[in-house]
């Protein structure tokens, strides 16, 4: 096993973690401020991917498609918050789960009706094509490094937004005492819509960025949603810092587990058996890590104090 190959897998894990952070940051904001379990968050990820693919195909520009993914996901998020989600805040979590699961079906069938059942494909923009050299003689795809850079910029932007702006002050207050900030004259409905649209835009951005690495297809958001829930449980519900640390942890553990476990098992059992067994164990690894963390930190690594 070369150093270059190991470093490449670590970077792949970091890139997966960044994608999960973009998903989980919006999800944890929505739950922290609104107390809403939003199963439709993965559908907003899918909306961003399809918007980027469709607009990029029509205009020939990935960058215009990327901007369209943000607008489309944020608009979809605002619309469903006003028309559907707003009626669920005072309902119990079971009603929220059922209603947002229905939204998954509506988005999936609506997307299939608009774009068909066949996947769409996004080309990596020429500016980000190619690779950069790694220590040990390997190379790493420039576009994947750019995704990591986008994640860092978004994390810094969210930190500034939450901790340094008036909107961030209202978001933090909404996490602590919704009734009080409403009594002080803050338009809580508008705040909820803005937060939901922001979370949706982050999910749409993640979908658009990942769309250039894999096919854009109906149902692509649900696997990412499951991992995003694991991230916010590990990091602590309502914590952006927890979402970042949890996402990087999940991304690296999942990627390195899938890479290393079959090789380790091959030293003890025949290679033909080591592959399938290693893959099965690797798929369980992040859930084992989550269980261990919750055993010692039941509220997650960076749970917000409310």
Q: Where are the domains of the chain?
A: 3-219
Please list, residue by residue across 28-55, b when 16 or more beta carbons sit within 10 angstroms of its beta carbon and e when fewer do. Answer: bbbbbbbbbbbbbbbbbbbbbbbbbbbb
Residues 215-265 pLDDT 10s: 899 989 888 899 999 999 998 887 888 889 999 999 999 998 888 888 888
pLDDT band at 174; cut points 50, 70, 90: low
Contacts of 179 (CB under 8 A, 6+ apart): none
pLDDT of residue 46 exceeding 90, the answer is yes
Residues 136-173 pLDDT 10s: 778 889 999 999 999 999 999 988 888 888 877 777 77
What is the rounded average pLDDT of the residues 30-35? Answer: 76
């Amino acid at each position: 096993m070369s150093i270059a190959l190991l470093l490449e897998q670590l970077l792949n894990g970091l890139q997966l973690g960044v994608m999960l952070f973009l998903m989980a940051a919006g999800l944890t904001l929505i739950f922290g401020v609104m107390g809403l379990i939003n199963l439709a968050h993965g559908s907003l990820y899918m909306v961003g991917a399809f918007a980027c693919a469709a607009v990029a195909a029509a205009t020939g520009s990935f960058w215009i498609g990327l901007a369209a993914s943000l607008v489309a996901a944020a608009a979809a998020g605002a619309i469903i918050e006003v028309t559907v989600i707003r009626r669920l805040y005072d309902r119990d979590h079971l009603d929220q789960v059922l209603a947002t699961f229905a939204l998954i079906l509506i988005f999936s069938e609506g997307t299939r009706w608009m774009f068909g059942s066949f996947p769409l494909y996004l080309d990596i923009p020429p500016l980000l094509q190619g690779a950069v050299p790694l220590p040990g003689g390997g190379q790493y795809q420039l576009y994947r490094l750019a995704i990591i850079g986008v994640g860092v910029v978004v994390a810094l932007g969210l930190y500034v937004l939450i901790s340094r702006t008036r909107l961030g002050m209202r978001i933090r207050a909404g996490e602590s005492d919704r009734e009080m900030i409403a009594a002080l004259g803050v338009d809580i409905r508008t705040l909820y819509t803005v937060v939901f649209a922001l979370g949706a835009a982050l999910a749409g951005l993640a979908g658009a960025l990942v769309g250039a690495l894999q096919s854009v297809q109906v149902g692509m958001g649900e696997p990412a949603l499951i991992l995003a829930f694991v991230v916010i449980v590990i990091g602590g519900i309502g914590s952006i810092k927890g979402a970042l640390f949890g996402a990087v942890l999940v991304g690296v553990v999942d990627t390195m587990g899938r890479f290393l476990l079959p090789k380790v098992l091959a030293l003890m059992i025949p290679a033909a058996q080591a592959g399938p067994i290693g893959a099965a164990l690797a798929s369980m690894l992040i859930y084992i890590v989550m269980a261990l963390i919750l055993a010692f930190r039941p509220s997650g690594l960076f749970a917000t104090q409310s």
